[in-house]
Amino acid sequence: MCNACGNPAVPGHWTDAGADTPGDRLRARFRRVALLNKILRPYGLSAHDDGMVPGIQLSTWSGNTTIVPDLGSLWADAERLIGCPIDPLDAEYLHG
């Protein structure tokens, strides 16, 4: 953990486990942010990860932006930004 910024606070988020080498890890970050953009677009959100800055930048289309450390905390912030819950098992999402 970095003494100056405290990042990362915990050893490796579980969502990073599928990538072993530095190259795989970078590829996984870009792939993840591309997927997030497709999934979050209907909610009026976009995600950005340049591979350098730790974390994922999450923005509304009006420019309200936050940085989340990992996928585990992304969804709570996404809900806060759009003001409604995101539930993959929501009946409207599944059958609407």
Partner 1 sequence: MADASGGRIRLTVLGGYLGSGKTTWLRHQLHLGRFGPVHVVVNEAAETSVDDILLTTASGLTLLAGGCCCCVGRQDLVTALRRLCDMRSRIISTDTRLDRIILETSGLADPGAIVAAIQGDAILVNHIVIDETIVVVDALHGLAQLQSEPLGRQQIGAADRLILSKSDVADPATLTILRATLRDLNPAAPQTGAILGQDVALNRLPPEMQAAPLPHLSNEDMRGPIIPACVTVGANMDWSLFAVWLSALLHARGNDLVRIKGVVRTPAGRLLLQTVRKVVQSPEILPNRADLGQDGKIVFIGRGFRPEDLQLSLDHFMEPTR
Q: Which residues bind partner 1 (CB under 8 A)?
A: 1, 9-12, 14-15, 17-20, 24, 28, 31-32, 35-36, 38-39, 41-42, 71-72, 74-76, 85-90, 93-94
At residue 54, what is the residue type?
P
Residue nearer to partner 1 on the CB measure, 52 or 94: 94
Residue nearer to partner 1 on the CB measure, 33 or 63: 33
Other beta carbons less than 10 A from residue 80's beta carbon: 11
Residue nearer to partner 1 on the CB measure, 27 or 65: 27
HEC secondary structure over the chain: CCCCCCCCCCCCCHHHCCCCCHHHHHHHHHHHHHHHHHHHHHHCEEEECCCCCCCEEEEECCCCEEEECCHHHHHHHHHHHHCCCCCCCCHHHHHC
Closest approach, Cβ 45 to partner 1, in A, equals: 13
Closest approach, Cβ 44 to partner 1, in A, equals: 15
Closest approach, Cβ 70 to partner 1, in A, equals: 8
